[in-house]
Amino acid sequence: MKLDHTLPLEYRSEENSNRIFGFWLFLGAEIVLFSTLFAVYLTLWNRTGNGPSGHEIFEIGPVLIETFVLLTSSFTIGLVINSMRQGLKKPALVFFFITLLLGAVFLGVEITEFVTYVNEGATLQTSAFLSSLFVLLGTHGAHVTMGLLWGIGLMIQIGREGFTLETANKSFIFSLYWHFLDVVWIFIFSFVYLKGLM
C-alpha cells in the first residue's frame, strides 16, 4: 500500500483519501435533501389551518439550549480530530464522549419539545405548517440519532484498536457528518425558530 507520510493519518492511503472524498459527495446529496425540506417549510409556514402558528408554539428557551449544545458538540468533535492528529488517544476519547453526551442532550430536549407540541394539540396531522415542521425537524433529529449510534460504535473501535489508518479515517468522516448536522441546525435555528418568533 502506498502511504504518503506528509499527510495526516486519515488521508494517508489512497483508499482513505477516496473515502473522505466519497463522504463529501454524500454530504452534497444531503445538502439537496435538506434544501427540499426547507423549500416545503418556507412555502407552507403560514398555512396553519385551524392549528396554532409558529409564533404561538415556539419557545425560545429550549431552542437556545439545543443551539448551544450542538455548537459546543461541533467544537468538541473538532478537538477530537485535533487530538487524534497528535496521536493522543485518551483526550480524543474524552472529547468524543462529551460530543456524544451533548448530542444525547440535544435529542432529549428535542423530544421533550415534540411531546409539548403534541400535548398542545399541534400534531403532524393538524396543519400543513406542522407537517412540514415535524418532517424538517424530524429528519434532522433522525440524523443526530443515527450519528449517536455510529459514534458509540466508533468509540468502542477506537478504544480497542487505537488510532489506525482505518479508525482515524472513520473518525474524520464522522467529524464531517457531525459538523454538517450543526450547519443544518444553524439554518433551522435561523429560518424556522428565529424567523417564526420575529
Partner 1 sequence: MKKLFPVKHVMGYLFSLILSIVALSVVYFDLSMAAGMAILLISAVIQMGVQLILFMHIGEDGSKKALYTNIAYALFVGLVTVFGTLFTMIWGYQ
Report the interface residues with partner 1, using CB under 8 A: 7-8, 11, 17, 20-21, 24-25, 27-29, 31-32, 34-36, 38-40, 42-43, 60, 64, 67-68, 71-72, 74-75, 77-79, 81-83, 86, 88, 91, 175-176, 179-180, 182-183, 186-187, 189-191, 194-195, 197-198
> Are 40 and 135 within 8 A, CB to CB?
yes
Shortest Å distance, C-beta 191 to partner 1? 7
Q: Which is nearer to partner 1, 64 or 115 (CB)?
A: 64
If we measure between CA atoms, which residue out of 28, 63, 47 comes closest to residue 132?
47
If we measure between CA atoms, which residue out of 191, 85, 95, 76 comes closest to residue 140?
191
- Amino acid making up residue 137: L
Q: Which is nearer to partner 1, 84 or 155 (CB)?
A: 84
Q: Which is nearer to partner 1, 60 or 146 (CB)?
A: 60
Q: How many other CB atoms are found less than 10 A from the CB of residue 146?
A: 12
Q: Which is nearer to partner 1, 12 or 51 (CB)?
A: 12
Radius of gyration of the chain (CA): 19
